[in-house]
Amino acid sequence: MKKTLFLCLFLCCLNMVEAAEKVYNLYSPSGEIHVKVTVSDLVRYDILYQKVPLLSQGVMQLELVSEVLGVRPRVVSHSTKRVKETLQPVVPLKFSTIDSRYNRLILNFSGNYSVEFRAFDDGVAYRFIIDRKGIVDVANELFRVGIPGGSLLHVQQAKSFQTSYEEPYQHLSVEEWHDVSDRYTLLPMLIKAPNDRYILISESDLTDYPAMFVTPAEGANTLTAAFPKNPTDFGDAGDRHVSLLKEADYIACTGGKRSFPWRYFVIATDAGQLLENTMTARLAPQNSIEDTSWIKPGLTTWDWWNGNGLSGPDVDFVAGCNTATAKYFIDFAKEFGVDYIMLDEGWAKSIHDPFTANSRLDLKEVIRYGAERNVGVWLWLPWLTVERNFGLFSKYAEWGIKGVKIDFMERSDQWMVNFYERVAAEAAKHRLAVDFHGSFKPAGMEYKYPNILSYEGVRGMEHMQNCVPDNTVYLPFIRNVVGAMDYTPGAMMTYHVDKYPNTRRPNASHIGTRAHQMAMYVLFETGLQMMADSPTQYQQHEDCARFMASIPVTTDETVSLAAKVGEYVVVAKRKGNKWYIGGITNSALAERTIELPLGFLKRGCPYLMTSYEDGPNANRTATHYVKRTREVTGEQTVKIKMARDGGFVAILENN
């Protein structure tokens, strides 16, 4: 009798659990991606690709100080919708027109909150939405998901939340990654699953909220999120940093009526699809700047990397942060069709005073001289100086400055994320563009404020011998997937890694071939591209310099031509009627031969292809290149050769 009663009670409880569990299925427009959302005691999700499980046992929660959203949830309504949108970014880096197609599921829960899922043909995204009165404190957010066993992770890892996102990539099995529990993994992170599927994880619509980091979770092959707490008390830590003396018990204090950042998974069946991905843009907030006609992406010189190393026969002055040097840069910019000059650290009398130039620099005369020649001037500033002198935006607009490069933030807590937005909004009010250096990765704010032309957040050329092609070749597959990247290419003095002389500014040099350097102007995406070397270096190598300067910053169309993560990458980009090809490779092979199909060209129409390629001796002498001119058509396949650390770059024009 007791056994019978126990069995009845067990079955009754089981039926109650089954009755309480509800499954919602969401498919991508093509039907290949399937999101299975299960609502029971928690909100869980599984993601399948072509009916094969890819990401499993995902769990989401939003932990407010007063309650936890996503625990014992009760669905009060749900809705689905098919959406087709056309987006036109103000600063187009991959495509001038983006077609966004997805299917949407919104689950509305009791307690005035919702979860929205979107299934695209190339990935999945979700976010929380709340509808509360007043202000809410978010203590934490749970992002937990299982990835396939045996996966390989391509990640940057930092020792703390204070990071400039410039760590080199590490390539770890999921098991090895789990063993490194004292590190924070930065977004974006790239996962190669054993079934040759790529999963890239990042976020978009990051506003009034901290950036997300990833750490191992309990259980095999499981990752979870970590967020910096909001700092509340600061101390002095030099001329460009502050020490964080105290933090709140929450990660964000924010409005009660809002949507939270998107957590997204790009899903690619081959590496080339990563190069064409626009997920951050499709999930970003709408442009908030009514008149964007003044926003001018472009090319700039940079006086920091080369250390004002002017050495030409016409240089009859002492180079440095002075008027004569700035005018020399402007003359070079005008002659080579460069839009701007960047005056980096040293232009000001004091790093604390953004209004007074040093005694050797007549800044107003430099601005006037540049305006006469249609060359704009940008100024570098540490973020702390900006924060303490927020009126500089209106003053710089009065002077005629075109943009500001703001450096050394190296944090992504809520306070600092809000600093980015305050800067972008104030700069836009005064028609100033912004380049964030020493920064976190792009996460959608650059679409809300398209005057944000670039972010650093990358191990770029300023790292000298510690910036190597074996790391750089990963950037198009990871960092550039999510947005603009201030890598600062353009070195004319180049070496292979085993022959690098460890040179220093003003004789700065870089690792990789000359063609490798030139190809970055096509390959790497940014709204503010830099010609990092000295004008006198470019004058000595005029053909290469003019070729690089002719490559546009914005792009109408992007096509992947050849790609293998960590080994080589070649893309074609169209601007108007011209096509541009750029490719780089690592140091693994003495020479790599790749066949490029030209089917992206207009059929039956001959094109003149002018290319700069690794020369026969580029394996030993990295500066050796050859220039070729030939006629091609869309029916052809072109064979290219790249040396170790090498590259290939070409412009194709209608004949």
- CA 261 – CA 125 distance, rounded (Å): 10
Check: CB of residue 267 under 8 Å from CB of residue 148.
Answer: no
- CA 440 – CA 407 distance, rounded (Å): 11
Check: CB of residue 230 under 8 Å from CB of residue 253.
Answer: yes
- CA 386 – CA 404 distance, rounded (Å): 10
Check: CB of residue 565 under 8 Å from CB of residue 198.
Answer: yes
Residue of 330, 338, 334, 395 whose CA lies nearest to 365: 330
- CA 56 – CA 47 distance, rounded (Å): 6
Check: CB of residue 230 under 8 Å from CB of residue 250.
Answer: yes
**Has 595 been annotated as catalytic?**
no
DSSP state of 212: P
303, 407, 456, 525: which one is catalytic?
407
Name the packing angle between helices 323-336 and 363-372 (round to 10°).
Answer: 20
Check: CB of residue 501 under 8 Å from CB of residue 509.
Answer: yes
410, 435, 446, 462: which one is catalytic?
462
The distance of Cα 346 from the centroid of its chain, to the nearest Å, equals: 28
Hey, how many other C-beta atoms are within 10 angstroms of the C-beta on 180?
14
Six token digits for residue 335: 């002659």
DSSP string, 236-284: E-SSS-EEEEEE-SSSEEEEEEEEPPEEEEEEESSHHHHHT--HHHHHS
- CA 139 – CA 125 distance, rounded (Å): 22
φ/ψ bin of 293: left (φ > 0), alpha (ψ from -120 to 50), beta (otherwise)? alpha
φ/ψ bin of 441: left (φ > 0), alpha (ψ from -120 to 50), beta (otherwise)? beta
Six token digits for residue 504: 């220093």
**Has 21 been annotated as catalytic?**
no
Burial class (CB in 10 A: 0-12, 13-18, 19+), 556: middle
Residues known to be catalytic: 407, 462
